[in-house]
Structures are given as structure tokens and as C-alpha cells.
Amino acid sequence: MSTFRHQVLIYCEQITHRLQYVLEWIFQEQLQLDFRVTYDAEQWKAYEGLKVNYSEKRIDTEDILIRPHRLIYEVGETAQQLNINRWKKSTVLFYNQPGALIPFDLFSAVFYLISRYEEYLPHKKDTHGRYMHSNSVAAQYSFIQQPVVDEWVSAFRNILEKKFKLILPQHTFEFQPTYDIDIAWAYLNKPRKQNIGGALRDLLRLNIGWFFDRILVSSSGRQDPYDAFKWMEDLQKYYQLQPIYFFLVGANGTYDRNISPSHPEMQSLIRHTSTHAQVGLHPSYGSYLQQSVMEKELQVLENILDKPVWKSRQHYIKMSLPDTYRQLEHIGIQNDYSMGYPTVNGFRAGTSRSFMWYDLSNETKSELRVHPFCFMETTAINNYNRSKTEAYAELERIYLAVKQTRGKLISIFHNNNLGSGREYKGWYKFYQKMIELIHSGQNP
């Protein structure tokens, strides 16, 4: 039995897996509208409720005619003519009907971005083997910090409401804080040999402050500079947040340097965290495209927690479509939080809202839900040379864009940047200021 208050009738000449997928996401998930498809033009013409014509031909004097682009009917991946243009302060793809109420193929445009179609095409990779944001149409046309998909859907909602004189349900703005625990402690709970070697390196590099920090933490009980966990928990309680912590539990390597998951203190931290927050897996850099390694890491985390783990985010945001998502789905992960760029803040899939991953190579809707993030503090630190003023201005822009479209702002912070370490002093103040802004509900 349908729980939707309204149903829209859509006329089209052919239904495909791609079209079915995007209709479900736009109408059911975003507009909270049921839909029905018909191939009968006379039935559509006689229908007196909400209706949309998705075809090349005008059936009547209808206002809402969306002309399809061939993308929605194809199978496989080929370079597309994107026909970029502007509409209602947004950049749009597949512009094909100048002067129309909806002058572009909304459904193909949404599909192109949330399926990450462009990431299946031949492209350059960065030094870590990742898809580069500079390859994307969003970067090339300067809308990477605009949730254009959400803007299109919001404008479409307004058109439907005005045309059919009704009020559709609205989402409310949401905030989801998340943390990546790449290195739980700087000095504590590490092998003595490792700390001695680190101290010698500090001296050789004339990092005298770091040298004394290491000695004092190791010998006199001073708080470890990366240990911000109690402060993070207190912040969570004060603002009634519901964060997700992603723990790196893989074998040590060049880019995987967390405390061993076999260490009692590491296990204690993970278990305690699970008593007040959600815990997810942070698949290691070394597990990239190695399903057996990823599966082993998941088992390690589940054994520590003594319960299943359903959430995941790739360390270094190191992912490749479709392989990474297929592996996650195969090992039982149901929710992934890797959809964003490690090198620029913004909207990799054009939306702040979650969606089921569409496996483009198999032309099937998967069981894996993708949750895009739009702000990571290390990205802002690197891009603005540690300038908190510039980073905060960027954060405000992104927050306002998500709030205006009633989206979901997922942030990523790291415990080592929220502590008292010398590298990134004061970023905990930045984070608290961000939380206060969001909690207040005010515009910047």
C-alpha cells in the first residue's frame, strides 16, 4: 500500500533501468511523490491529476514537456554531448528546449551526475590512482560547490506545485558529523622502538617542540596531542549530535599508520566509541582493489565490536568505480560515505542527498546507499594554506547552499586535527564555530 499522498502520471515511449532508477530517486525519495508510467498518450491526455510528458512529442497543450536525451535509453558508456547552459541560477546539462518551462532533460542530467557516468569514461588519475576533480564537468564549468541536482529538483518541485496547485512534502536540512580515525594517538600506545626512532628524527630535523612533546607524553602522562576523543564526545552531548566514527584497522603501510587494532587501548577506544556513536570501517589504503583484505579488515572491526558493521568510508577517499563499490557491496557494507573529492570541497555527485548506487557497467540499481560528503577539514587546510578565515568562508558557502536546498551536510574531521598538535593548532575552535553556526540555524 502506497504511503504517498499524491501520484504523478508520466508519459514516455520506453522505460529503461536508467529511467526507472532516476524516476524513483527524484519522485519517491526527493519529492515524496508516487509515480506511474504509461505508454498510452490518450490515457495520459485524459488524466486530470499530476502529469509529466517525457517524450519528443507534445500530446496536448501541456506545460510540462521534458524532451529526453539519448543517454537515458543507452546501454554502456560513451562520451556525451553535454549541451551546457543556464537555468534559474543553475548550470544545467542536456539543454535541448530553449524557452520551455523545463528546457533540459532533467532526468538524464540527474542520472549523469549521481551515477557518476563521467568516472567510467577514460580519464587521468592522480598520484594515488584516484579520479581527479579537474576531470569533472562540475569543475570545468565552475559549479562544483553548488548542489545543482538539488537545485534542479527544488525548481521542479516549485513548477509542479504551481501548475497543479498543491503543496508537496519537504525535506528538512540535516547535519551529519563524521570523523576519520586515521591515527588515534601521536605517541601513546606505540612501540618503544618507534617512539625512540621518532625522537631521533625530531632532533635531526630540529623539531625541538615535537621532541619534547614526545618525551613528556611518553614519560610524564601529558595528554597525547591527537587525543581529542573526550572533547569530541562532550561536544556531541552538548549539541546532541549523532556522529559516525570511521576506524582504520588495516595493516601498517606508507599511508596506513594507525595503532594496531590488536592493542588493548585501541580496542577499548573503539568499543567505548560504539557506546555513544555509530562506528564504521575505514578501509585501508592497502586494501584498495583487494577484496579479501577489505573483508579481513571488516572482520577485525566486527570482532572488536562483537556486532555487524554496515557503514564504510575509503581511507584517502581512494576509490574506483565500479570496483570499489562492488567490493563493498560484496562484503556486506550497506552505506558508503566516500562520495566526495579529497582535493576540493563541494558536491562530487551534484547532490547532498543520499542515493542508491547505480552500477553502470551492469546497468543495475545496487543495494549500496551512497552518502555524499561536501566538506573535509584537511582539504580546506591544504587548499587555503591553513588559513582558517578562508576555510570558514568556504564552509559558510557550502552550508548555505545545502540549507537553501534542504539537503544534508556531511562533514569529515580528523581527531588529530581537533587535538593540541603543533601542526594544526586551533582547528578545534574552527570546528566548534561551525557546529554553533549549524546548531543556531542562522544564515552566515
Which pLDDT score is estimated for 191? 63
Residue 165 has pLDDT above 80, yes or no: yes
Q: The pTM is what? A: 0.95
Q: What is the pLDDT of residues 28-39, one digit of tens each?
A: 999 999 999 999
Residue 213 has pLDDT above 70, yes or no: no
Looking at residues 353-360, what average pLDDT do you find?
99
Residue 196 has pLDDT above 60, yes or no: no
Q: What is the pLDDT of residues 2-32, one digit of tens each?
A: 588 899 999 999 999 999 999 999 999 999 9
- Amino acid at the residue 295: E
Which pLDDT score is estimated for 125? 97
Which among 401, 408, 383, 407 has a CA at the least distance from the CA of 444? 401
Residue 367 has pLDDT above 70, yes or no: yes
Q: How far is CA 233 from CA 159, 240, 335, in A?
A: 44, 10, 23
91 φ, ψ (degrees, to nearest 5): -80, 135
Secondary structure of 354-387 in HEC code, one letter for each residue = CEEEEECCCCEEEEEEECCCCEEHHHHHHHCCCC
The CA distance from 110 to 216, in Å, is: 55
Grouping H, G, I as helix, E, B as strand and the rest as coil, residue 90 is strand
The CA distance from 356 to 399, in Å, is: 23
The percent of residues in the chain predicted with pLDDT above 70, rounded, is 92
Contact between residue 277 and residue 271 where contact means Cβ atoms under 8 Å apart: no
Per-residue confidence band for 438, with pLDDT thresholds at 50, 70 and 90: very high
Per-residue confidence band for 186, with pLDDT thresholds at 50, 70 and 90: confident
Indicate the range of 50-54, 103-107, 301-305, 416-420 predicted with least confidence.
416-420
Which among 72, 22, 102, 98 has a CA at the least distance from the CA of 349? 22
Which pLDDT score is estimated for 1? 45
Q: CB-based burial of residue 96 (10 Å sphere; 0-12 exposed, 13-18 middle, 19+ buried)?
A: middle
Write out the residue limits of the CATH 3.20.20.370 domain(s) in the chain: 174-186+224-440
Which pLDDT score is estimated for 78? 96
Inter-helix orientation angle 192-204/208-220, to 10°: 160
Which pLDDT score is estimated for 60? 86
- The mean of the pLDDT values for the chain is 93
Which pLDDT score is estimated for 28? 98
Residue 347 has pLDDT above 90, yes or no: yes
Residue 347 in grid coordinates: 558536491
Looking at residues 259-270, what average pLDDT do you find?
97
Per-residue confidence band for 62, with pLDDT thresholds at 50, 70 and 90: confident
Residue 206 has pLDDT above 80, yes or no: no
The topology under which CATH files domain 174-186+224-440 is TIM Barrel (3.20.20)
Residue 308 has pLDDT above 60, yes or no: yes
Which pLDDT score is estimated for 211? 56
- Residue with more model confidence, 191 or 279: 279
Which pLDDT score is estimated for 162? 96
Which pLDDT score is estimated for 203? 56
Which pLDDT score is estimated for 219? 65
